[in-house]
Amino acid sequence: MGGVEVRRVEGRADLERFLRLPWRIYAGDPMWVPPLLSDVRAALDPAKHPFHEHAEVALFLARHGGDVVGRIAAVVNRAHNEFHDDKLGFFGLFECIDDQGVADALLGAAEAWLGERGMTTAQGPMNLSTNEEVCSPGVLIDGWHRPPAVLMGHNPEYYAGLITRAGYAKVKDLLAYWLESETTPTRLQRTYDRMLRDGRVKLRSLDMKRFDDEVAVVRDIYNSAWERNWGFVPMTGAELDYMAQHLKPIAEPKLCVFAEVDGEPVGFVLGLPDYNVALKHVNGRLLPFGFIKLLWHKRKITHCRTITLGLKPGFRGRGLDGLLIAHLFIEAKKVGIWKGECSWILEDNREMRRGLDRIGGVPDKTYRLDEKPLQS
């Protein structure tokens, strides 16, 4: 496609075009779940989201003949680069018609902007970071047979080719596992019973009456449990508080489980009811009638997404991860949930993958992160 023009998003009208482009890209796609426009708008607003306290984000639109045909975000995450001592820039929120020229122009604009700020490599899609997920990192390369779980990404099959042909190469695959059983797997139940027998290990659900205190426990575990994980960036207090308040309205206490050993909180697992089942019918807006639709379709939620599981160093390899999953599995059935997705999981996280294999989980979707050196 000739005559493609890429410009920086300037002003409210451009931002609305940026936000609404997916409705064109996914028209007729039965698996797509429209995002809540208010959530995406807030994530991109430096006055509202604490991510922007340590990051710079530029948004770009591609136009052809007056039509918006693509979009992209370029991100410099100073917290990431300070923690890893690198100069890695990111692109994300990538949406594009099936045209290589448009994709090249969008990625080229993001790369130029990143290069001007001293970045040596571009990586993505990252939306916006591993902590601030408008949706999950990576481009979907396998698993179009079911809609994405809550906060997970979805894209047309041609996206991976557009990115690869623009000079990008794989850096890491992220996996989504599917687990489905109306009864607790026997092996999981045996592990559960054995580990709770002597009373040293205790499990408890989230206490909504002490929500702020519980968030502080999560913060302590999170920043120690994930410190050595690929791509990890410590969350600031403001970031975790923002995320907690954002998720609080849809949290189900039985799906957030803490593990304590001799009274010390050492791990947690967080699951969310898969609100995408209901959001699919809201079409991006809660007002004026979307909230009513959300409440109506919420009743049909029978699965969840396990977002994260972490254990402090020194408490791994003891079976506590399986114990947490078992407890979540058992408690979820009490609120009508008996299947779900565990995502996202690094392809080389062998311990987590073996644990999911043992209890009947199967790889269900694959998301790929790519990167490209930037010319100096």
3-state DSSP percent of the chain in helix, strand and coil, to 5: 35, 30, 35
Contact 347, 172 (CB under 8 A): yes
- Give strand pairing partners of 8: 60
- Give strand pairing partners of 259: 203, 267
Q: Which CATH architecture has domain 179-368?
A: 3-Layer(aba) Sandwich (3.40)
- Only one residue has tokens 């699919």, namely 280
- List where CATH 3.40.630.30 sits in the chain: 5-173, 179-368
- Only one residue has tokens 């920043």, namely 223
Count of CB atoms situated within 10 Å of the CB of 369: 22
Burial of 292 (0-12, 13-18, 19+ CB in 10 A): exposed
Domain 5-173 CATH class label: alpha beta
| Token couple for 351 | 């311990």
Kind plus residue range of the DSSP H or E element containing 205? strand 201-205
pLDDT of residue 329: 81
Contact 138, 125 (CB under 8 A): yes
pLDDT of residue 376: 66
Contact 371, 213 (CB under 8 A): no
pTM equals 0.93
pLDDT of residue 274: 95
What Å distances lie between residue 151 and 221, 224, 240, CA to CA?
A: 22, 24, 16
pLDDT of residue 291: 82
d(CA 357, CA 247): 29
pLDDT of residue 343: 92
Q: What are the pLDDT tens digits along the chain (376 aa)? A: 678 999 999 999 999 999 999 999 999 999 999 999 999 999 999 999 999 999 999 999 999 988 999 999 999 999 999 999 999 999 999 999 999 999 999 999 999 999 999 999 999 999 999 988 899 999 999 999 999 999 999 999 999 999 999 999 999 999 999 988 777 777 777 778 888 888 889 999 999 999 999 998 998 898 888 777 888 898 888 998 999 988 888 899 999 999 999 999 999 999 999 999 999 999 998 887 788 888 888 888 989 999 988 899 888 877 788 788 888 888 888 888 888 999 999 999 888 888 788 778 899 999 999 999 998 6
